[in-house]
Structure 1
Protein backbone atom coordinates (compact mmCIF):
# COMPACT_ATOMS: atom_id res chain seq x y z
CA UNK A 1 0.00 0.00 0.00
CA UNK A 2 2.84 2.42 0.70
CA UNK A 3 4.04 2.20 -2.90
CA UNK A 4 0.69 2.92 -4.50
CA UNK A 5 -0.02 6.22 -6.23
CA UNK A 6 -2.04 8.81 -4.30
CA UNK A 7 -4.13 11.27 -6.30
CA UNK A 8 -4.11 14.82 -4.95
CA UNK A 9 -7.20 16.83 -5.90
CA UNK A 10 -7.31 20.58 -5.34
CA UNK A 11 -10.63 22.43 -4.97
CA UNK A 12 -9.52 25.91 -5.88
CA UNK A 13 -12.30 28.32 -4.86
CA UNK A 14 -15.67 26.61 -4.38
CA UNK A 15 -18.93 28.39 -3.60
CA UNK A 16 -19.04 28.20 0.19
CA UNK A 17 -16.37 30.54 1.51
CA UNK A 18 -16.71 34.24 0.77
CA UNK A 19 -14.04 36.85 0.02
CA UNK A 20 -14.27 38.31 3.55
CA UNK A 21 -13.13 34.98 5.02
CA UNK A 22 -9.75 35.14 3.32
CA UNK A 23 -7.99 37.75 1.26
CA UNK A 24 -6.25 34.86 -0.51
CA UNK A 25 -9.42 33.24 -1.86
CA UNK A 26 -9.20 33.47 -5.67
CA UNK A 27 -12.25 35.17 -7.16
CA UNK A 28 -11.30 36.71 -10.51
CA UNK A 29 -10.62 34.54 -13.55
CA UNK A 30 -6.96 35.57 -13.51
CA UNK A 31 -6.63 34.62 -9.83
CA UNK A 32 -8.40 31.28 -10.29
CA UNK A 33 -6.22 30.45 -13.29
CA UNK A 34 -2.98 31.44 -11.57
CA UNK A 35 -3.75 29.52 -8.38
CA UNK A 36 -4.92 26.47 -10.34
CA UNK A 37 -1.76 26.36 -12.42
CA UNK A 38 0.41 26.76 -9.33
CA UNK A 39 -1.50 23.97 -7.56
CA UNK A 40 -0.98 21.66 -10.54
CA UNK A 41 2.73 22.47 -10.57
CA UNK A 42 2.83 21.64 -6.85
CA UNK A 43 1.42 18.17 -7.47
CA UNK A 44 -2.36 18.34 -7.85
CA UNK A 45 -3.42 15.87 -10.55
CA UNK A 46 -7.07 16.99 -10.46
CA UNK A 47 -8.35 20.58 -10.29
CA UNK A 48 -11.94 20.92 -9.01
CA UNK A 49 -13.29 24.19 -10.38
CA UNK A 50 -16.08 26.66 -9.62
CA UNK A 51 -16.52 30.17 -11.04
CA UNK A 52 -17.10 33.50 -9.32
CA UNK A 53 -18.31 36.91 -10.43
CA UNK A 54 -15.05 38.83 -10.85
CA UNK A 55 -16.69 42.04 -9.59
CA UNK A 56 -17.64 40.80 -6.13
CA UNK A 57 -16.63 37.15 -5.76
CA UNK A 58 -20.19 35.81 -5.71
CA UNK A 59 -20.52 32.25 -7.06
CA UNK A 60 -21.71 32.15 -10.66
CA UNK A 61 -22.57 29.35 -13.10
CA UNK A 62 -21.84 31.56 -16.11
CA UNK A 63 -20.10 29.73 -18.97
CA UNK A 64 -18.66 33.07 -20.04
CA UNK A 65 -16.81 33.36 -16.74
CA UNK A 66 -15.58 29.76 -16.84
CA UNK A 67 -14.22 30.41 -20.33
CA UNK A 68 -12.11 33.25 -18.94
CA UNK A 69 -9.95 30.85 -16.92
CA UNK A 70 -10.40 27.19 -17.89
CA UNK A 71 -8.64 27.42 -21.31
CA UNK A 72 -5.66 29.15 -19.66
CA UNK A 73 -5.37 26.30 -17.14
CA UNK A 74 -5.64 23.67 -19.88
CA UNK A 75 -2.95 25.40 -21.92
CA UNK A 76 -0.54 25.64 -18.99
CA UNK A 77 -1.03 22.22 -17.30
CA UNK A 78 -2.01 18.63 -18.06
CA UNK A 79 -4.10 18.39 -14.88
CA UNK A 80 -7.53 16.78 -15.02
CA UNK A 81 -10.18 19.51 -15.11
CA UNK A 82 -13.07 18.60 -12.80
CA UNK A 83 -16.01 21.00 -13.23
CA UNK A 84 -18.62 21.30 -10.51
CA UNK A 85 -22.23 20.29 -11.07
CA UNK A 86 -22.94 21.36 -7.50
CA UNK A 87 -22.49 25.07 -8.10
CA UNK A 88 -24.06 26.53 -4.98
CA UNK A 89 -27.24 26.03 -2.95
CA UNK A 90 -28.72 29.14 -4.62
CA UNK A 91 -28.47 27.80 -8.18
CA UNK A 92 -31.00 25.76 -10.13
CA UNK A 93 -30.04 22.48 -11.77
CA UNK A 94 -30.05 24.20 -15.14
CA UNK A 95 -27.70 26.86 -13.78
CA UNK A 96 -25.35 24.26 -12.37
CA UNK A 97 -25.17 22.34 -15.66
CA UNK A 98 -24.77 25.36 -17.95
CA UNK A 99 -21.00 25.05 -18.38
CA UNK A 100 -20.59 21.25 -18.04
CA UNK A 101 -23.11 20.78 -20.86
CA UNK A 102 -20.93 22.87 -23.14
CA UNK A 103 -17.51 21.71 -21.98
CA UNK A 104 -18.17 17.95 -21.66
CA UNK A 105 -15.17 17.65 -19.31
CA UNK A 106 -13.28 14.52 -18.37
CA UNK A 107 -14.71 14.77 -14.87
CA UNK A 108 -17.48 16.53 -12.98
CA UNK A 109 -18.33 16.53 -9.30
CA UNK A 110 -21.71 15.04 -8.39
CA UNK A 111 -23.32 15.35 -4.96
CA UNK A 112 -25.07 12.07 -4.21
CA UNK A 113 -28.16 13.44 -2.50
CA UNK A 114 -30.16 16.41 -1.25
CA UNK A 115 -29.02 17.66 2.15
CA UNK A 116 -28.72 20.47 4.64
CA UNK A 117 -25.37 22.11 3.87
CA UNK A 118 -24.36 25.06 5.98
CA UNK A 119 -21.59 27.12 7.50
CA UNK A 120 -24.01 29.70 8.93
CA UNK A 121 -22.44 29.67 12.45
CA UNK A 122 -19.41 31.41 10.94
CA UNK A 123 -21.50 34.55 10.34
CA UNK A 124 -21.64 35.29 14.07
CA UNK A 125 -17.83 35.38 14.19
CA UNK A 126 -17.40 37.76 11.26
CA UNK A 127 -16.72 41.36 12.26
CA UNK A 128 -17.05 42.90 8.80
CA UNK A 129 -17.99 41.95 5.26
CA UNK A 130 -16.29 43.10 2.09
CA UNK A 131 -19.37 42.80 -0.12
CA UNK A 132 -23.07 43.32 0.56
CA UNK A 133 -24.16 39.84 -0.60
CA UNK A 134 -21.93 37.86 1.78
CA UNK A 135 -23.75 38.22 5.12
CA UNK A 136 -27.17 37.22 3.76
CA UNK A 137 -25.58 34.40 1.76
CA UNK A 138 -23.89 32.82 4.79
CA UNK A 139 -26.72 33.43 7.26
CA UNK A 140 -29.25 32.19 4.71
CA UNK A 141 -27.63 28.75 4.64
CA UNK A 142 -29.46 27.99 7.88
CA UNK A 143 -32.72 27.81 5.91
CA UNK A 144 -31.39 26.48 2.59
CA UNK A 145 -31.21 22.94 1.24
CA UNK A 146 -28.83 21.67 -1.39
CA UNK A 147 -31.06 19.83 -3.84
CA UNK A 148 -30.02 16.73 -5.77
CA UNK A 149 -32.96 14.38 -6.04
CA UNK A 150 -32.76 10.91 -7.57
CA UNK A 151 -34.20 12.39 -10.76
CA UNK A 152 -31.62 15.20 -10.74
CA UNK A 153 -28.76 12.75 -10.30
CA UNK A 154 -30.11 10.44 -12.99
CA UNK A 155 -30.40 13.29 -15.49
CA UNK A 156 -26.81 14.37 -14.82
CA UNK A 157 -25.51 10.83 -15.17
CA UNK A 158 -27.35 10.30 -18.45
CA UNK A 159 -26.59 13.65 -20.07
CA UNK A 160 -22.95 14.08 -19.12
CA UNK A 161 -22.21 10.38 -19.07
CA UNK A 162 -23.25 10.14 -22.73
CA UNK A 163 -20.35 12.49 -23.52
CA UNK A 164 -17.91 10.26 -21.64
CA UNK A 165 -17.67 12.43 -18.53
CA UNK A 166 -16.89 10.53 -15.34
CA UNK A 167 -17.64 11.75 -11.84
CA UNK A 168 -16.24 12.66 -8.46
CA UNK A 169 -19.10 11.20 -6.40
CA UNK A 170 -19.32 13.48 -3.37
CA UNK A 171 -20.70 11.46 -0.45
CA UNK A 172 -21.45 13.43 2.72
CA UNK A 173 -23.06 10.55 4.58
CA UNK A 174 -23.37 6.77 4.52
CA UNK A 175 -26.74 7.04 2.80
CA UNK A 176 -25.04 8.70 -0.16
CA UNK A 177 -23.04 5.52 -0.72
CA UNK A 178 -26.30 3.60 -0.91
CA UNK A 179 -27.63 6.19 -3.37
CA UNK A 180 -24.54 5.54 -5.47
CA UNK A 181 -25.14 1.80 -5.24
CA UNK A 182 -28.71 2.37 -6.46
CA UNK A 183 -27.45 3.91 -9.69
CA UNK A 184 -24.79 1.23 -10.05
CA UNK A 185 -27.54 -1.40 -9.80
CA UNK A 186 -29.44 0.45 -12.54
CA UNK A 187 -26.42 0.19 -14.79
CA UNK A 188 -25.94 3.96 -15.01
CA UNK A 189 -22.49 3.93 -13.39
CA UNK A 190 -19.61 1.62 -14.23
CA UNK A 191 -16.38 1.12 -12.28
CA UNK A 192 -13.90 2.45 -11.48
CA UNK A 193 -15.86 4.84 -9.22
CA UNK A 194 -14.18 7.89 -7.67
CA UNK A 195 -15.81 8.26 -4.25
CA UNK A 196 -15.07 11.56 -2.51
CA UNK A 197 -16.00 11.08 1.14
CA UNK A 198 -16.71 14.45 2.74
CA UNK A 199 -16.36 14.99 6.48
CA UNK A 200 -16.87 18.02 8.70
CA UNK A 201 -19.67 19.85 6.89
CA UNK A 202 -22.64 20.84 9.07
CA UNK A 203 -25.43 18.67 7.70
CA UNK A 204 -23.16 15.73 6.88
CA UNK A 205 -20.89 13.29 8.67
CA UNK A 206 -18.60 14.77 11.30
CA UNK A 207 -14.83 14.53 11.00
CA UNK A 208 -14.49 11.65 13.46
CA UNK A 209 -12.03 8.85 12.65
CA UNK A 210 -14.71 6.25 13.31
CA UNK A 211 -16.83 7.77 10.52
CA UNK A 212 -14.05 7.29 8.00
CA UNK A 213 -13.88 3.62 8.94
CA UNK A 214 -17.65 3.31 8.45
CA UNK A 215 -17.51 4.97 5.01
CA UNK A 216 -14.57 2.83 3.89
CA UNK A 217 -16.05 -0.46 5.07
CA UNK A 218 -19.47 0.39 3.63
CA UNK A 219 -17.96 1.21 0.24
CA UNK A 220 -16.01 -2.05 0.33
CA UNK A 221 -19.19 -3.96 1.06
CA UNK A 222 -21.25 -2.24 -1.62
CA UNK A 223 -18.73 -2.06 -4.45
CA UNK A 224 -15.67 -4.19 -3.70
CA UNK A 225 -12.41 -2.36 -3.07
CA UNK A 226 -11.09 -3.26 -6.52
CA UNK A 227 -13.91 -1.29 -8.17
CA UNK A 228 -13.42 2.16 -6.71
CA UNK A 229 -10.92 4.82 -5.74
CA UNK A 230 -11.53 6.25 -2.27
CA UNK A 231 -10.76 9.92 -1.63
CA UNK A 232 -11.01 12.03 1.52
CA UNK A 233 -12.08 15.62 2.09
CA UNK A 234 -11.82 17.06 5.60
CA UNK A 235 -13.51 20.45 5.89
CA UNK A 236 -12.05 23.38 7.80
CA UNK A 237 -9.66 22.67 10.65
CA UNK A 238 -9.93 18.94 10.05
CA UNK A 239 -8.35 19.14 6.61
CA UNK A 240 -4.72 18.03 6.88
CA UNK A 241 -5.00 15.51 9.71
CA UNK A 242 -8.07 13.89 8.23
CA UNK A 243 -6.82 13.53 4.67
CA UNK A 244 -3.54 12.13 5.99
CA UNK A 245 -5.49 9.50 7.88
CA UNK A 246 -7.44 8.78 4.72
CA UNK A 247 -4.27 8.17 2.74
CA UNK A 248 -3.02 5.77 5.40
CA UNK A 249 -6.33 3.91 5.07
CA UNK A 250 -5.78 3.49 1.34
CA UNK A 251 -7.41 6.65 0.04
CA UNK A 252 -6.58 9.60 -2.14
CA UNK A 253 -6.75 13.18 -0.85
CA UNK A 254 -8.39 16.51 -1.60
CA UNK A 255 -7.26 19.91 -0.35
CA UNK A 256 -7.88 23.49 -1.49
CA UNK A 257 -9.35 26.79 -0.39
CA UNK A 258 -12.86 25.54 -1.14
CA UNK A 259 -12.47 23.11 1.76
CA UNK A 260 -10.39 25.19 4.18
CA UNK A 261 -8.91 28.67 4.05
CA UNK A 262 -6.22 27.70 6.58
CA UNK A 263 -2.81 26.07 6.26
CA UNK A 264 -2.51 25.32 9.97
CA UNK A 265 -4.13 26.48 13.19
CA UNK A 266 -4.62 30.25 12.98
CA UNK A 267 -2.53 30.54 9.80
CA UNK A 268 -4.34 31.27 6.56
CA UNK A 269 -3.18 29.54 3.41
CA UNK A 270 -1.85 32.17 1.03
CA UNK A 271 -2.58 29.94 -1.96
CA UNK A 272 -4.00 26.59 -2.94
CA UNK A 273 -0.50 25.47 -3.84
CA UNK A 274 0.61 25.91 -0.22
CA UNK A 275 -1.92 23.29 0.85
CA UNK A 276 -0.94 20.98 -2.02
CA UNK A 277 2.73 21.27 -1.15
CA UNK A 278 2.03 20.59 2.52
CA UNK A 279 0.00 17.43 1.97
CA UNK A 280 2.47 16.25 -0.67
CA UNK A 281 5.35 16.64 1.77
CA UNK A 282 3.44 14.76 4.47
CA UNK A 283 2.56 11.91 2.13
CA UNK A 284 6.04 11.61 0.66
CA UNK A 285 7.55 11.53 4.14
CA UNK A 286 5.19 8.60 4.80
CA UNK A 287 6.63 6.89 1.68
CA UNK A 288 3.59 7.41 -0.54
CA UNK A 289 4.04 8.24 -4.21
CA UNK A 290 2.06 11.08 -5.79
CA UNK A 291 0.07 10.30 -8.94
CA UNK A 292 0.70 12.35 -12.06
CA UNK A 293 -2.27 13.55 -14.12
CA UNK A 294 -1.60 10.75 -16.62
CA UNK A 295 -1.62 8.18 -13.83
CA UNK A 296 -4.80 9.65 -12.36
CA UNK A 297 -6.48 9.37 -15.76
CA UNK A 298 -5.52 5.73 -15.96
CA UNK A 299 -6.64 4.99 -12.39
CA UNK A 300 -10.03 6.62 -12.96
CA UNK A 301 -10.67 5.48 -16.52
CA UNK A 302 -11.00 9.02 -17.91
CA UNK A 303 -11.59 9.75 -21.59
CA UNK A 304 -8.57 12.05 -21.99
CA UNK A 305 -8.01 15.78 -22.29
CA UNK A 306 -8.23 15.62 -26.10
CA UNK A 307 -11.94 14.74 -25.91
CA UNK A 308 -13.25 17.86 -24.18
CA UNK A 309 -14.69 21.13 -25.47
CA UNK A 310 -12.98 23.79 -23.38
Structure 2
Protein backbone atom coordinates (compact mmCIF):
# COMPACT_ATOMS: atom_id res chain seq x y z
CA UNK A 1 0.00 0.00 0.00
CA UNK A 2 1.43 3.39 -0.97
CA UNK A 3 1.33 6.27 1.46
CA UNK A 4 -1.87 8.26 1.88
CA UNK A 5 -1.87 12.01 1.29
CA UNK A 6 -3.93 14.21 3.60
CA UNK A 7 -4.92 17.57 2.14
CA UNK A 8 -6.28 20.29 4.41
CA UNK A 9 -8.51 22.98 2.89
CA UNK A 10 -8.15 25.75 5.43
CA UNK A 11 -10.86 28.34 4.74
CA UNK A 12 -12.37 28.19 1.25
CA UNK A 13 -15.00 30.57 -0.10
CA UNK A 14 -18.30 28.90 0.81
CA UNK A 15 -18.66 29.15 4.57
CA UNK A 16 -19.19 32.62 5.97
CA UNK A 17 -17.83 34.03 9.26
CA UNK A 18 -21.23 33.91 10.96
CA UNK A 19 -21.31 30.11 10.65
CA UNK A 20 -18.39 29.48 12.99
CA UNK A 21 -16.16 31.64 15.19
CA UNK A 22 -13.33 29.25 14.30
CA UNK A 23 -13.38 29.80 10.53
CA UNK A 24 -10.11 31.64 9.81
CA UNK A 25 -10.31 34.76 7.68
CA UNK A 26 -7.57 37.06 8.94
CA UNK A 27 -4.08 36.36 7.58
CA UNK A 28 -2.83 35.63 11.08
CA UNK A 29 -5.51 33.00 11.66
CA UNK A 30 -5.18 31.44 8.20
CA UNK A 31 -1.42 31.10 8.67
CA UNK A 32 -1.68 29.77 12.21
CA UNK A 33 -4.32 27.18 11.35
CA UNK A 34 -2.49 26.11 8.18
CA UNK A 35 0.77 25.59 10.06
CA UNK A 36 -0.99 23.61 12.79
CA UNK A 37 -2.72 21.45 10.17
CA UNK A 38 0.63 20.72 8.54
CA UNK A 39 2.16 19.76 11.88
CA UNK A 40 -0.82 17.46 12.50
CA UNK A 41 -0.10 15.56 9.29
CA UNK A 42 -1.46 17.45 6.28
CA UNK A 43 1.03 17.10 3.42
CA UNK A 44 -0.87 19.57 1.20
CA UNK A 45 -2.48 22.87 2.23
CA UNK A 46 -5.24 24.02 -0.11
CA UNK A 47 -5.51 27.77 0.35
CA UNK A 48 -7.93 30.60 -0.39
CA UNK A 49 -7.67 34.19 0.83
CA UNK A 50 -10.21 36.44 2.48
CA UNK A 51 -10.51 40.14 3.11
CA UNK A 52 -9.51 40.52 6.77
CA UNK A 53 -11.93 43.43 7.20
CA UNK A 54 -15.06 41.44 6.51
CA UNK A 55 -14.19 37.79 5.79
CA UNK A 56 -15.30 38.02 2.16
CA UNK A 57 -13.44 35.66 -0.24
CA UNK A 58 -10.69 37.55 -2.05
CA UNK A 59 -8.51 37.05 -5.10
CA UNK A 60 -6.22 39.94 -4.20
CA UNK A 61 -2.53 38.92 -4.15
CA UNK A 62 -1.91 41.28 -1.23
CA UNK A 63 -4.30 39.21 0.91
CA UNK A 64 -2.47 36.02 -0.09
CA UNK A 65 0.87 37.70 0.47
CA UNK A 66 -0.11 38.45 4.06
CA UNK A 67 -0.04 34.74 5.01
CA UNK A 68 1.84 32.70 2.36
CA UNK A 69 5.42 33.65 3.40
CA UNK A 70 4.72 32.79 7.04
CA UNK A 71 3.29 29.39 6.12
CA UNK A 72 6.22 28.63 3.83
CA UNK A 73 8.71 29.69 6.50
CA UNK A 74 7.22 27.63 9.33
CA UNK A 75 6.28 24.34 7.66
CA UNK A 76 7.26 22.32 4.60
CA UNK A 77 3.74 21.42 3.44
CA UNK A 78 2.94 21.68 -0.26
CA UNK A 79 1.13 24.96 -0.91
CA UNK A 80 -1.81 24.49 -3.26
CA UNK A 81 -3.55 27.71 -4.36
CA UNK A 82 -7.09 27.76 -5.63
CA UNK A 83 -7.87 28.81 -9.19
CA UNK A 84 -11.56 28.43 -8.34
CA UNK A 85 -11.50 31.35 -5.90
CA UNK A 86 -15.18 32.04 -5.42
CA UNK A 87 -18.02 31.31 -7.81
CA UNK A 88 -18.80 35.04 -7.94
CA UNK A 89 -15.28 36.01 -9.13
CA UNK A 90 -14.16 36.40 -12.72
CA UNK A 91 -11.49 34.05 -14.01
CA UNK A 92 -9.04 36.94 -14.13
CA UNK A 93 -9.58 37.67 -10.44
CA UNK A 94 -9.32 34.00 -9.52
CA UNK A 95 -5.92 33.75 -11.23
CA UNK A 96 -4.28 36.88 -9.87
CA UNK A 97 -2.61 35.21 -6.89
CA UNK A 98 -1.64 31.91 -8.57
CA UNK A 99 -0.01 33.84 -11.43
CA UNK A 100 1.85 36.02 -8.95
CA UNK A 101 3.09 33.29 -6.57
CA UNK A 102 3.56 30.32 -9.00
CA UNK A 103 2.87 27.63 -6.36
CA UNK A 104 3.79 23.97 -6.59
CA UNK A 105 0.11 23.04 -7.00
CA UNK A 106 -3.19 24.62 -8.01
CA UNK A 107 -6.74 23.38 -7.91
CA UNK A 108 -8.60 23.33 -11.22
CA UNK A 109 -12.37 22.85 -11.47
CA UNK A 110 -13.09 20.70 -14.52
CA UNK A 111 -16.27 22.34 -15.69
CA UNK A 112 -19.03 24.91 -15.44
CA UNK A 113 -21.76 24.04 -12.93
CA UNK A 114 -24.60 25.29 -10.78
CA UNK A 115 -23.17 26.18 -7.37
CA UNK A 116 -26.17 26.35 -5.06
CA UNK A 117 -25.45 27.41 -1.49
CA UNK A 118 -28.81 28.93 -0.61
CA UNK A 119 -29.95 26.12 1.75
CA UNK A 120 -27.14 27.29 4.08
CA UNK A 121 -28.98 30.57 4.58
CA UNK A 122 -32.08 28.88 6.03
CA UNK A 123 -30.68 28.35 9.53
CA UNK A 124 -31.46 31.36 11.77
CA UNK A 125 -28.29 33.16 12.80
CA UNK A 126 -26.94 36.59 13.61
CA UNK A 127 -25.08 37.72 10.50
CA UNK A 128 -21.73 39.36 11.24
CA UNK A 129 -21.31 41.09 7.85
CA UNK A 130 -23.83 42.47 5.39
CA UNK A 131 -22.55 40.45 2.40
CA UNK A 132 -23.11 37.00 3.92
CA UNK A 133 -26.86 36.48 3.70
CA UNK A 134 -27.30 37.89 0.15
CA UNK A 135 -24.29 35.87 -1.06
CA UNK A 136 -25.91 32.64 0.10
CA UNK A 137 -29.53 33.41 -0.79
CA UNK A 138 -28.72 34.63 -4.30
CA UNK A 139 -26.85 31.43 -5.13
CA UNK A 140 -30.10 29.92 -6.42
CA UNK A 141 -29.11 31.75 -9.61
CA UNK A 142 -25.35 31.19 -9.38
CA UNK A 143 -23.28 29.44 -12.03
CA UNK A 144 -19.58 28.75 -11.55
CA UNK A 145 -18.06 29.32 -14.99
CA UNK A 146 -15.11 27.23 -16.14
CA UNK A 147 -15.43 26.59 -19.86
CA UNK A 148 -13.02 24.48 -21.95
CA UNK A 149 -11.34 27.74 -23.00
CA UNK A 150 -10.96 28.75 -19.34
CA UNK A 151 -9.51 25.36 -18.40
CA UNK A 152 -7.07 25.39 -21.31
CA UNK A 153 -5.92 28.86 -20.27
CA UNK A 154 -5.25 27.77 -16.69
CA UNK A 155 -3.38 24.68 -17.86
CA UNK A 156 -1.23 26.86 -20.11
CA UNK A 157 -0.55 29.72 -17.70
CA UNK A 158 -0.11 27.70 -14.51
CA UNK A 159 1.06 24.37 -15.89
CA UNK A 160 3.16 25.03 -18.97
CA UNK A 161 4.42 28.49 -18.02
CA UNK A 162 4.83 28.09 -14.22
CA UNK A 163 5.32 24.33 -13.87
CA UNK A 164 2.51 23.87 -11.32
CA UNK A 165 0.77 20.53 -11.02
CA UNK A 166 -2.96 20.29 -10.48
CA UNK A 167 -5.61 19.04 -8.11
CA UNK A 168 -8.25 18.33 -10.77
CA UNK A 169 -11.56 18.95 -9.01
CA UNK A 170 -14.34 16.79 -10.44
CA UNK A 171 -17.78 17.68 -9.11
CA UNK A 172 -19.63 15.49 -11.59
CA UNK A 173 -19.08 12.54 -13.90
CA UNK A 174 -18.87 14.81 -16.95
CA UNK A 175 -15.86 16.52 -15.38
CA UNK A 176 -13.96 13.25 -15.57
CA UNK A 177 -14.65 13.07 -19.29
CA UNK A 178 -13.48 16.68 -19.61
CA UNK A 179 -10.23 15.70 -17.90
CA UNK A 180 -9.75 12.90 -20.42
CA UNK A 181 -10.38 15.43 -23.20
CA UNK A 182 -7.46 17.56 -21.99
CA UNK A 183 -5.25 14.50 -21.62
CA UNK A 184 -5.99 13.74 -25.27
CA UNK A 185 -5.07 17.31 -26.19
CA UNK A 186 -1.70 16.86 -24.51
CA UNK A 187 -2.31 19.62 -21.94
CA UNK A 188 -2.29 17.38 -18.86
CA UNK A 189 0.87 15.69 -17.58
CA UNK A 190 0.91 12.45 -15.65
CA UNK A 191 0.67 11.43 -12.87
CA UNK A 192 -2.81 12.90 -12.57
CA UNK A 193 -4.22 13.86 -9.16
CA UNK A 194 -8.03 13.93 -9.12
CA UNK A 195 -10.06 15.42 -6.29
CA UNK A 196 -13.58 13.96 -6.37
CA UNK A 197 -15.93 16.50 -4.78
CA UNK A 198 -19.17 15.35 -3.17
CA UNK A 199 -22.01 17.21 -1.50
CA UNK A 200 -22.21 20.55 -3.34
CA UNK A 201 -25.76 21.15 -4.59
CA UNK A 202 -25.30 21.18 -8.35
CA UNK A 203 -22.71 18.40 -8.29
CA UNK A 204 -22.55 14.79 -7.11
CA UNK A 205 -24.25 13.65 -3.92
CA UNK A 206 -22.14 11.94 -1.25
CA UNK A 207 -22.90 8.33 -2.15
CA UNK A 208 -20.23 5.61 -1.79
CA UNK A 209 -21.54 3.79 -4.86
CA UNK A 210 -20.96 6.93 -6.93
CA UNK A 211 -17.31 6.92 -5.87
CA UNK A 212 -17.07 3.25 -6.85
CA UNK A 213 -18.45 4.13 -10.28
CA UNK A 214 -16.01 7.04 -10.64
CA UNK A 215 -13.03 4.83 -9.85
CA UNK A 216 -14.12 2.31 -12.47
CA UNK A 217 -14.66 5.11 -14.97
CA UNK A 218 -11.30 6.72 -14.21
CA UNK A 219 -9.62 3.33 -14.70
CA UNK A 220 -11.29 3.12 -18.10
CA UNK A 221 -10.52 6.68 -19.18
CA UNK A 222 -7.07 7.21 -17.65
CA UNK A 223 -5.54 3.79 -17.11
CA UNK A 224 -3.43 3.52 -13.98
CA UNK A 225 -1.53 6.80 -14.27
CA UNK A 226 -3.71 8.67 -11.84
CA UNK A 227 -4.32 9.06 -8.13
CA UNK A 228 -7.56 10.18 -6.56
CA UNK A 229 -8.56 11.96 -3.39
CA UNK A 230 -12.01 12.58 -1.96
CA UNK A 231 -13.66 15.47 -0.19
CA UNK A 232 -17.24 15.49 0.99
CA UNK A 233 -19.16 18.40 2.43
CA UNK A 234 -20.42 18.57 5.97
CA UNK A 235 -21.32 15.41 7.89
CA UNK A 236 -20.30 13.22 4.96
CA UNK A 237 -16.63 14.20 5.30
CA UNK A 238 -15.40 11.26 7.39
CA UNK A 239 -17.65 8.50 5.96
CA UNK A 240 -16.58 9.34 2.41
CA UNK A 241 -12.93 9.71 3.45
CA UNK A 242 -13.12 6.25 5.01
CA UNK A 243 -14.57 4.75 1.83
CA UNK A 244 -11.93 6.52 -0.27
CA UNK A 245 -9.15 5.11 1.90
CA UNK A 246 -10.59 1.61 1.60
CA UNK A 247 -10.51 2.00 -2.17
CA UNK A 248 -6.86 3.13 -2.17
CA UNK A 249 -7.49 6.86 -2.39
CA UNK A 250 -6.25 9.94 -0.60
CA UNK A 251 -8.35 12.29 1.54
CA UNK A 252 -9.12 15.96 2.06
CA UNK A 253 -10.50 17.57 5.20
CA UNK A 254 -10.66 21.13 6.49
CA UNK A 255 -13.02 23.94 7.43
CA UNK A 256 -13.56 24.80 3.77
CA UNK A 257 -15.52 21.56 3.48
CA UNK A 258 -16.95 20.95 6.95
CA UNK A 259 -17.22 23.17 10.02
CA UNK A 260 -17.81 20.33 12.49
CA UNK A 261 -15.66 17.71 14.22
CA UNK A 262 -18.64 15.57 15.24
CA UNK A 263 -22.42 15.94 15.16
CA UNK A 264 -23.42 19.27 16.69
CA UNK A 265 -19.87 20.21 17.71
CA UNK A 266 -17.90 22.80 15.77
CA UNK A 267 -14.27 22.06 15.01
CA UNK A 268 -12.14 24.62 16.80
CA UNK A 269 -9.42 24.51 14.16
CA UNK A 270 -8.36 22.69 11.00
CA UNK A 271 -5.78 20.60 12.85
CA UNK A 272 -8.59 18.87 14.77
CA UNK A 273 -9.94 17.43 11.55
CA UNK A 274 -6.46 16.45 10.34
CA UNK A 275 -5.84 14.66 13.65
CA UNK A 276 -9.18 12.90 13.34
CA UNK A 277 -8.62 11.58 9.83
CA UNK A 278 -4.97 10.74 10.47
CA UNK A 279 -5.95 8.58 13.45
CA UNK A 280 -8.61 6.88 11.33
CA UNK A 281 -6.16 6.17 8.50
CA UNK A 282 -3.48 4.84 10.81
CA UNK A 283 -6.00 2.54 12.48
CA UNK A 284 -6.81 1.24 8.99
CA UNK A 285 -3.13 0.45 8.48
CA UNK A 286 -2.22 3.39 6.22
CA UNK A 287 1.11 5.17 6.31
CA UNK A 288 0.68 8.95 6.14
CA UNK A 289 2.55 10.78 3.38
CA UNK A 290 4.94 13.54 4.37
CA UNK A 291 5.17 16.68 2.22
CA UNK A 292 8.29 15.28 0.54
CA UNK A 293 6.47 12.00 -0.10
CA UNK A 294 3.65 13.96 -1.73
CA UNK A 295 6.14 15.91 -3.85
CA UNK A 296 7.67 12.69 -5.12
CA UNK A 297 4.31 11.01 -5.73
CA UNK A 298 2.89 13.99 -7.63
CA UNK A 299 6.03 15.06 -9.49
CA UNK A 300 6.11 18.56 -7.99
CA UNK A 301 8.77 21.14 -8.81
CA UNK A 302 9.69 21.86 -5.16
CA UNK A 303 9.03 24.72 -2.79
CA UNK A 304 12.22 26.50 -3.83
CA UNK A 305 10.87 27.08 -7.33
CA UNK A 306 7.81 29.09 -6.35
CA UNK A 307 7.36 32.83 -5.99
CA UNK A 308 6.32 32.62 -2.35
Mapped to 2, the partners of 1:144 and 1:67 lie a distance apart of: 29
Runs of 4+ in 1 over 3 A off after TM superposition: none
Mapped to 1, the partners of 2:267 and 2:109 lie a distance apart of: 26
Offset, 1:143 = 0.6
Q: Which residue of 1 aligns with 2:164?
A: 165
Offset, 1:114 = 0.3
Q: Secondary structure at the match of 2:151?
A: helix
Q: Which residue of 2 aligns with 1:139?
A: 137
Q: Which residue of 1 aligns with 2:3?
A: 5
Mapped to 2, the partners of 1:10 and 1:289 lie a distance apart of: 17
Q: Which residue of 2 aligns with 1:34?
A: 32
Mapped to 2, the partners of 1:137 and 1:100 lie a distance apart of: 24
Matched, 1:208 2:207: yes
Q: Secondary structure at the match of 1:127?
A: coil
Q: Which residue of 2 aligns with 1:244?
A: 242
Partner deviation per Cα, 1:98-132 (whole Å, 9 max, x = no partner):
01111111000000000011221111113321111
Q: Secondary structure at the match of 1:47?
A: strand
Q: Which residue of 1 aligns with 2:190?
A: 191
CA contact (8 A) 2:118 2:136 kept: yes
Q: Which residue of 1 aligns with 2:175?
A: 176
Q: Secondary structure at the match of 2:166?
A: strand
Offset, 1:79 = 0.2
Q: Secondary structure at the match of 2:122?
A: helix
CA contact (8 A) 2:38 2:77 kept: yes
Give structure 2 stretches of 5+ with no counterpart: none
Matched, 1:253 2:254: no
Q: Secondary structure at the match of 2:46?
A: strand
Offset, 1:241 = 1.0
CA contact (8 A) 2:116 2:200 kept: yes
TM-score, normalisation: structure 1: 0.98
Q: Secondary structure at the match of 1:110?
A: strand
Mapped to 1, the partners of 2:98 and 2:125 lie a distance apart of: 37
Q: Which residue of 1 aligns with 2:75?
A: 77
CA contact (8 A) 2:18 2:125 kept: no
Offset, 1:164 = 0.4
Q: Which residue of 1 aligns with 2:100?
A: 102
Q: What is the RMSD of the two structures over their aligned residues, measured on CA atoms?
A: 0.6
Partner deviation per Cα, 1:275-305 (whole Å, 9 max, x = no partner):
0000000000111000000000000010110
The within-5 A match list for 1:15-30 is 15-30=13-28
Mapped to 1, the partners of 2:8 and 2:50 lie a distance apart of: 17
| Number of positions where the alignment pairs a residue of Structure 1 with one of Structure 2 | 307
TM-score, normalisation: structure 2: 0.99
Partner deviation per Cα, 1:211-251 (whole Å, 9 max, x = no partner):
010111111111112x0111000111100111111011010
Q: Secondary structure at the match of 1:6?
A: coil
Offset, 1:156 = 0.4
Q: Secondary structure at the match of 2:243?
A: helix
Mapped to 2, the partners of 1:118 and 1:38 lie a distance apart of: 31
